[in-house]
Each structure stands twice: as structure tokens, then as C-alpha cells.
Amino acid sequence: MAVYQSDGKKLLHVEYDTVIEVGDEVDGMRVLSTDARNAEECAVFLLEPNGMVTCYVFDEIYIVGKSDSFDTLLDAVNAWNGGEI
């Protein structure tokens, strides 16, 4: 399990080829799932302390999108797959 921190724009103190995996922690939230839409963008679904789900979209180590407060992981994944994030 790896622990990552961001400054809201990119992951801090990591290499460019870093791969976030299920079970890791980003900004104090546990990674529930990941998915790649293409070679550049990767969605990371995170469990917030209040039980809601947040999605960060990464391009390498840069956060290019963020959407939070989904009720369930399924809601967040459907938003990602539907192009809403």
C-alpha cells in the first residue's frame, strides 16, 4: 500500500511513471478502483471519510479533473464511462 499526497494539481514526491493501485491512499482517501479511458487519462476512485466517492482523473502525475460526492462507486464509474467527468 502506497500513500500519496497532492497539491491539488499533481502528486507530490513521485516519479512520472508512478501507477496508483487499488488499496493505495491519495490525499487521505483509500483507492477503491481505477480505470483508464485511453493511454493518457486514468480515473482513480477514492473513498472519502464521509463514505462518499471522489474521482480524480490523472494524466501521468497531474490531476486534470476531479469530481466528488458520488453516493456509490457505481455512480462514479457510470459518470466516468458516460463522459461526465
Do the Cβ atoms of 73 and 81 come closer than 8 Å?
Answer: no
pLDDT at 37: 81
pLDDT digits (tens, 9 = 90+) for 48-77: 999 999 999 999 889 999 998 899 999 999
Strand partners for 18: none
Q: Residue 3: what pLDDT?
A: 95
Cα separation, 1 vs 74, whole angstroms: 23
pLDDT band of 40, cuts 50, 70, 90: confident
d(CA 48, CA 29) in angstroms, rounded, equals 5
